[in-house]
Structure 1
Amino acid sequence: MNLIKPGSTIGIIGGGQLGKMLILAAASLGYNTIVYCDQKDSPAFSVANSFILAEYDDLSALKEFADQCDVITFEFENIPHDSLAFLEENSLVRPSKNSLFISQNRNREKEFMQKLSLPTTLFKKIIDKQDLLQGIETLGFPCILKTAELGYDGKGQISISEEKDVNEALERLSGQEYILEKKIDFEKEISIIAARDDQDNFKAFSPFENTHKQGILQKTKSPADISQALQNQAVQMTKTIMQELKHIGVLTVEFFVKEGKLLINEIAPRVHNSGHLTIDACFVSQFEQHIRAICSLNLIDPVLHTKAEMHNLIGEDVHDLTNLIMSPTIKVHLYGKKIVKQGRKMGHVTKLLFP
């Protein structure tokens, strides 16, 4: 066990709202924080003890950052693998670069699941036009073309439902790697968020049921409306993934539910938007649990003490808060982003569903 005691400094790569909420959880446990981010006016800067504004491949700035940290973690995946490897040579990084490496590439992630004999959607790796045409022939309509790396909240994706969509998809190919996935007519989407520490202790939150619109998470409720047997299966799959990765910290697995069976959609090696309601509805939030895991503190049993529903405040939603703020059963969380944009997550609200 490598105990990182309160009073130590936690480094966080990325300055978005997830980083901000991690910092608030760390501060409540007595930790100092430093944020490394390449975007000025990042939400996390307002609550961190200090920050470094620099590019993610700036080795000099990364060394300065590492020298100030007792442990380093990250709040998003779009970090150069070589940069995280460099940080591992100069500090303690949790989770490790291996978790990031697998999750950064959708083909690599699917192949990892296949190696573990875990169920996923059907897919094909796409490099060129011939791959795409063969992939469409193999998978059939409808399917969806995604960039293998980068892209989130529906970005970098093309739906291919009929022949007329094929030409648009072919024109979109630009020499990078893609993944073609069979589109699933699923009944619901759920996520499992769990934490693992360096002693292989494991704790999973109650399952979350998620609703997306145009590729962006709109609403999450917990507990999810699934059977106990299905919940147990989802939790066990998540545990298998975390143990294989030797993942330390919080990790999220998104699933499709179809005809009473689970298909893994994707993983996120970090805290997750679907877990925001844990701040108000659980005995420990996903953010505190992550801090506990990376610092080798004891993990808390993440009991859901109140059924809850989380709604993202997207774009102009943030301007209509008067009634929400007045309600004692609605908890408002604003991220402090200065510019409102269409499709941008500006905050969230959690509705506590008392009997």
Structure 2
Amino acid sequence: MKPVCVLGNGQLGRMLRQAGEPLGIAVYPVGLDAKPETVPYQESIITAEIERWPETALTKKLAEQETFVNRDIFPCLADRMRQKKLLDDLGLATAPWLLLENAEQCAEIFTTFSQFVIIKRRVGGYDGRGQWRLRQGEQCSLPQDVYGESIVEQGINFSAEVSLIGARSSKGKLVFYPLTDNLHEEGILRISVVRPQLNEKLQQKAETMLSTIMEKLNYIGVMAMECFIDGDNLLINELAPRVHNSGHWTQNGASISQFELHLRAILDLPLPKLVVNSPSVMVNLIGIPINPAWSSLPLVHLHWYEKEVRAGRKLGHLNLTDPDVKRLSGVLTKLAPLLPNEYQRSLSWAIQKL
């Protein structure tokens, strides 16, 4: 079995490494400051946990390798404008958008769009950073370097946010997990809920959309598609050409985790039908220290990233899964006092979703 080098050594690279161990796959998460001679890239399949990276001696070497799976797709999807153009070309629905070219455009934004818009940097920025939400009448005071390097999207009064995670093999085989309901707060994913076989019509629509994208790009591996539900329509918000935060529940709630699935796809291993029989909940642990009491509750699986605690930083997550919705909701209720006040709304939301 060929080893795998992961460009990036954050929590996603760590979990890819963990997923490879039972299969005998050596996975090497590689920091961007690593020296090329310390990395076995020449005999490895290469993947990435991040869409965009600086040019270093190492990334130059990796970019030269034909074994860098999806190498030429990352620049396309890392740029929000190029990503939007791709979706437009494929006839897939997104929020209406345009390139923000200069400050004078700010005065015209609300004649083009509704009373609420979101400005996003074309590259970089995540978890709410590099984004500005503006309502009609608010002053449009933005950093000068935003102009020409950002897009404006019409704000959508969506009824729900969902994501679909799927994978494609080099032979074109496609497999998908059930749609995941997500709740974001201040631009950061707080909690995800999965209820298998809840809405077959919406599931099929999402699978068709993501299939179209992966097949157009000849993409290999796991890809995530975040969407808004607007009436009976799905509007694509963003694509991630990698394993994704909203798929962490698969570690304990699916027959194959998204991390193992990605390794299988890029190594040309079988992609069997994914089995998800029980509802699952994933709780992001953001900016809070570890609490051993979490693990005292039944059903709770703690995944801790061993990172320095900082406000707004994803430090770990909790996965809970059980076929009995009442029991699962009961554990979430017991978990509530063990988490800060800012989690109470999201936990109540998850219990209602179940």
TM-score by length of 2: 0.86
Quote the residue 2:65 is aligned against.
Answer: 90
Cα distance change, pair 143–263 in 1 and its aligned pair in 2 (3 A): same
Give the counterpart letter for 2:296 in structure 1. M
Give structure 2 stretches of 5+ with no counterpart. 325-354
Aligned partner (choices 81, 94, 108) of residue 120 of structure 1: 94
Supply the AA of the counterpart residue of 1:128.
N
Aligned counterparts of 1:240 and 1:86: Cα–Cα separation in 2: 31
Q: 1:343 to 1:146 in 2, by over 3 A?
A: same
- Give percent identity, aligned residues only: 32
Deviations 1:6-64 (A, max 9, x none): xx2110100111110000111211011222213xxxxxxxxxxxxxx43xxxxxx4476
Q: Does 1:287 align with 2:262?
A: no
Match of 2:313 among 344, 347, 351: 344
| CA distance in structure 2 between the partners assigned to 1:149 and 1:225 by the alignment | 35
User: Aligned partners of 2:96 and 2:60: how far apart in 1?
Assistant: 32
Q: What residue number does 2:238 align with?
A: 266
- The residue type equivalent to 2:6 in the other structure is I
2:309 alignment partner AA? V
Matches within 5 A, 1:175-186: 175=147, 177-186=149-158
Q: How many Å separate the matches in 2 of 1:160 and 1:332?
A: 37
Question: Which residue of 2 is the match for residue 137 of structure 1?
Answer: 111
Match of 2:121 in 1: 147
Q: 1:108 aligned to 2:82?
A: yes
**Which of 236, 245, 269 does residue 297 from structure 1 map onto?**
269
How far is the alpha carbon of 1:263 from its aligned partner?
0.3
Structure 1: tracts of 5 or more residues without a match: 39-52, 55-60
Kept after mapping to 2: 8 A contact 1:203/1:299: yes
Q: CA deviation at 1:175?
A: 4.8
Q: Which residue of 2 aligns with 1:320?
A: 291
Runs of 4+ in 1 over 3 A off after TM superposition: 61-69, 80-86, 131-136, 171-176, 318-321
Match of 2:10 in 1: 16
CA apart distance, 1:102: 1.8
Contact 1:11/1:69 (8 A) holds in 2: no
Q: Which moved more, 1:225-234 or 1:10-19?
A: 225-234
Q: Specify whether residues 84 and 97 from structure 1 end up closer, same or farther in structure 2 by C-alpha distance, changes over 3 A only.
A: farther
- Measured in 1, the distance between the counterparts of 2:105 and 2:74 equals 26
Q: Determine the C-alpha separation between the residues in 1 that align with 2:98 and 2:148.
A: 14
The residue number in structure 2 matching 1:242 is 214
Does the 8 Å contact 1:66/1:87 carry over to 2? no
Deviations 1:98-124 (A, max 9, x none): 321221111110110000000000101
Q: Cα–Cα, structure 1 residues 212 and 249, in superposed 2: closer, same or farther, change >3 Å?
A: same
Aligned pairs (5 A) from 1:221-260: 221-223=193-195, 227-260=199-232
CA displacement, residues 70-120 of structure 1 (integer Å, 9 cap, x when unaligned): 2000011122489767524334011x1232122111111011000000000
Q: Per the alignment, do residues 192 and 158 of structure 1 end up closer, same or farther by CA in structure 2, a change over 3 Å counting?
A: same
